[in-house]
Structures are given as structure tokens and as C-alpha cells.
Structure 1
Amino acid sequence: MAARRKSAPPAPALLEWAMGGLGLLLVLAALAVIVFEALRAGEPARLEARLIGTRPAGAGWLADVEVRNLGGETAAAVGIEGRLGAETAEATVDYVPAHGKHRVTLAFDADPRAARVSVAGWSEP
């Protein structure tokens, strides 16, 4: 019997090269994002609260408040305070992520459209 000669394997197809190149680009992009985030100086949490709506509720009123974190760090145990004359309402938000927002509701006896809302404080998680 004549010995068969093994032929060289075929060269990779163009599609294989394209997929390999795409995979390499994705891995390099992911590594670049990780390195960028690791080397970037963390911007501290910067919180602000604003009144976004009011509504009557039973014998009192409810004030909807949006808390926004404009900073780059997460804030935990965020204290929100609303003042309407001598009346004060408070709420605590578990956490507000970096560049995120959270809504809370404060209860008042009178119409809270003129209430002043503010962030009383927070801790770093």
C-alpha cells in the first residue's frame, strides 16, 4: 500500500482572523477601563436634595424628595431633613450610589410646597 502524504492544515479563514481580532480588542478595552478606574482619583460623594412634588394624604401632606449623588463615591445612611416653619420631617436612605439618585417621602401636617429640604449627613460605606 502506498503511504499517504499528510497535507498541511488549511490556513485560518478570514472570518477566524476577524473574530480573533475582535476578541483581542474587547479584552484590551476591558483592561483599559479597569486600569483607568484603578488609577483615577476617587471623587467624594456630593449629595443634594430637592423637593419634586407634594400631595395630600389623610390629615396631612406628603413631600416627595429626590436625593442625587453628583460625586464618584457611594454614600450610605444618608439623612434627609425637611423643614416647614417649626415643623421638621426626617428620613434616612440606606445608600445612594455614585452618580445615582434615590427618592424619599417626608410627611408634614401642612402643605409642604414651601418646605426646605436638605441632606443632613451621610457615612462612607
Structure 2
Amino acid sequence: MGRPQDGDRQGADAEQERQDVAEDPGSTLVERIAAFFSALLIAAMIGLVLYQAITGAGARHPDLVTTVEEVLPQAGGFHVVYRVENRGGVTAAAVRVEGTLSHGDAIADMAEAEIDYVAAHSSHRGGLIFRDDPADYDLRLHVTGYRRP
């Protein structure tokens, strides 16, 4: 016998392929479970993006809230540690914080600081330095401005 004909080789290859397919039972249970959870994760991510797009549409400005965390005496004054929380859905950059010590309408001392940025739904700590003890005065902190990044 000579060389097998091309048609004979193609027939043998096709027969081998049919046997390989017949032996493959399809995807296993583990593969099906992994595919299900992958599809579930992708659907959840799409749902989260849509939810944020729908509910965050009105959040066009940061909502910046200041709170005093602690007052620490130091050489030459008092260190007021504060936290600025951005409850809004937009990042604020160059956030300026002003603190005042006052008795009634009379301001005894004032300090200012700037925070590089406060991302949406996050917070940032900073400090203001006063000459006088804040315990002896009415301490007020507030954000005086920001810019969009």
C-alpha cells in the first residue's frame, strides 16, 4: 500500500474529532457554578453603576461637614485636630477650613488651613493652631471654600 490519500486522512481526522466530542460530557458542575457566580457578579456591578448614576444625579456639590476631634496643648499654643467629612457625591479640592475662638461677637483668635482634597463620601483630618486655649472660648470651625478638581 502506498501513502494514504488525503480523503482517507480527512475521514480519520473527522472520526477522531467525533470521538473526542462524544467523550466530553460537557461542562462540569464546578464550571457551571463558576459561570453562574461570574454572571451574577457582572449583573451586580452593572446594577451598582446604574443605581449610582440614577441616585447620584442630584449630587452636584460636595457636602462638607467639620467636627473637632481633640484639642492638644503644645508649645506656643493649642493644636485643634479636626475632621472634614464630604457627605456629597462630588470631590472637593483645595478645601479651606477656618476656625475661630470667640466670646459672643468678639473674635479672640482665628486660624485657617487648606486640605488638598476630600473625595466624595470620605473624610480627611487636619489641624489648626491657636495661641489661646479653646476651652476658654466658643470654638467654631467651618469650611470657607473649595474648588472642583
Using the TM superposition, give the Cα deviation of residue 73 of structure 1 relative to its aligned residue in structure 2, in angstroms.
Answer: 0.8
- Is the counterpart of residue 32 in structure 1 residue 50 in structure 2? no
Using the TM superposition, give the Cα deviation of residue 82 of structure 1 relative to its aligned residue in structure 2, in angstroms.
Answer: 0.7
> 1:87 and 1:27 mapped to 2: Cα distance?
55
More helix by share: 2
After the TM superposition, which of the residue ranges 96-105 and 6-15 deviates more from structure 2? 6-15
- Is the counterpart of residue 120 in structure 1 residue 137 in structure 2? no
SS in 2 for 1:86: strand
SS in 1 for 2:88: coil
> 2:68 and 2:35 mapped to 1: Cα distance?
52
Give TM-score scaled by structure 1 length: 0.86
Instruction: Supply the RMSD in Å over aligned alpha carbons.
Output: 1.9
- Higher relative CO (Cα under 8 Å, sequence separation at least 6) belongs to 1
- Alpha-carbon displacement from aligned partner over 1:70-117 (angstroms, at most 9, x marks no partner): 111111100000111331100000011111111111111110233211
> 2:89 and 2:45 mapped to 1: Cα distance?
20
Matched with 1:20 is: 35
Which of residues 59, 79, 84 is equivalent to 2:96?
A: 79
Number of residue equivalences? 123
> 1:64 and 1:110 mapped to 2: Cα distance?
15
CA contact (8 A) 1:54 1:63 kept: yes
Which ranges of structure 2 fall in alignment gaps of 5 or more residues? 1-11, 102-106
> 1:12 and 1:70 mapped to 2: Cα distance?
47
Using the TM superposition, give the Cα deviation of residue 37 of structure 1 relative to its aligned residue in structure 2, in angstroms.
Answer: 2.7
> 2:58 and 2:92 mapped to 1: Cα distance?
13
> 2:25 and 2:148 mapped to 1: Cα distance?
59
Which ranges of structure 1 fall in alignment gaps of 5 or more residues? none
> 1:56 and 1:11 mapped to 2: Cα distance?
72
SS in 1 for 2:62: coil
Give TM-score scaled by structure 2 length: 0.74
- Is the counterpart of residue 11 in structure 1 residue 26 in structure 2? yes
Larger Rg: 2
Which 4+ residue blocks in structure 1 deviate beyond 3 angstroms? none
